[in-house]
Structure formats: C-alpha cells, structure tokens
Amino acid sequence: MANSVLNQQNATAEVQWQPKDLVRGLVWKIAIATWLLMAVGSATRVMNAGLACPDWPLCYGQLIPAAQMNLQVFLEWFHRLDAAAIGLSAIALLGLSLFYRSRVPKWLPWASAGAVFLIVFQGVLGGLTVTQLLRFDIVTAHLGTALLFFCALLVIGFMLTPYEATGNIG
C-alpha cells in the first residue's frame, strides 16, 4: 500500500514545466504587488501625502528626493516606485505571453495587452492626480482603474490555474 502512494507521488513529480506556469506565477506576483500598492495608495490618501511630491513623474525634480524625505514624501515616492515596478512587470507579462504564444492559451496575449493598457492608463491618471491637484473625479478614476487592473489580474491568474477534480459529485 505504501508503494502505491509513493508511486502516485513520483508520477505527479514527473509533470513537465510549462510556460503557462511561469506566466501564472508572474501574474500572481503582480496581483500581490498591486494589492500592496493599493494599500500604500490608501495610506498616501489618509496621510494627506498625495501632493507631497509636487511634480510628476519625478519628486522635487529628482528620482530620489533624499533632502526632502519625510513620511509623506516617502509614501508618495514609494507609491510611484511600486507603480513603476508593476508597470514594468506588466510589460514583462505581455512579452512572455507573446514569446510563448504558441504554448499558452490563445486569449492570454490579448488579456496581457489589456493589462498593459490599464496600467499605462493608470499611470496617466496618477500623473493627472498630481498635476490637477487631487481633483476628486481623477482620484476616483485612479482608484477605479486600480481595482479594474487588480480584478483583471485575478481573472487571468485563476484562468491559468489548472483544474483539479476532487472526485466529489454534487
């Protein structure tokens, strides 16, 4: 009986790596980073740090505003830094899904392109949020687009997750 259990475990260990696994892992990492980015964005809003960096895309005309760094500047600066990393990751997701397009589901490159569109639009809204001095409609659209991007990542991640039957009926 022990041999049959061990044989089943060895059989599952021999499953070959698929590009879909790499893409799925990246999607979940981007989703977690997006969730954390929304938390940092919320903290930025609550701490009234939305205009702590008065210019965009830099902060006080610098990539790292060391001389002006305080909690509010750090929150706004880190929000932008995390957003840039997520944007680059979304571009990498599109690149991977195009590179492996013959070995991933046909819808994946399109969904990845949609995610890149959303994150670029999100960046534009982020810039407008600062340059338009926190106009409520732009801030609301910025949050709404973040939620839409996050939901798109969740859908892509779950669609790439393999189905595992439980054997239960009903």
pLDDT tens per residue across span 75-93: 999 999 999 999 999 999 9
Is residue 122 within 8 A of residue 139, CB to CB? The reply is no
Q: What is the pLDDT of residues 3-17, one digit of tens each?
A: 555 555 555 555 687
Alpha helices in 65-131 (DSSP H): 71-99, 108-131
Is residue 49 within 8 A of residue 72, CB to CB? The reply is yes
The Cα–Cα gap between 36 and 138 comes to: 21
Residue 115 confidence (pLDDT): 98
Q: What is the pLDDT of residues 29-50, one digit of tens each?
A: 999 999 999 999 999 999 999 9
The Cα–Cα gap between 77 and 58 comes to: 9
Query: pTM to 2 decimals?
Result: 0.86
Count of beta carbons in the 10 Å neighbourhood of residue 161? 12
Q: What is the pLDDT of residues 94-111, one digit of tens each?
A: 999 999 999 999 999 999
User: What are the structure tokens assigned to 60, written together?
Assistant: 């006080």
Q: Which of 51, 118, 36, 114 is nearest to 81 (CA)?
A: 36
Residue 112 confidence (pLDDT): 98
Q: Which of 52, 30, 14 is nearest to 156 (CA)?
A: 30
The Cα–Cα gap between 52 and 82 comes to: 16
Is residue 125 within 8 A of residue 145, CB to CB? The reply is yes
Residue 4 confidence (pLDDT): 52
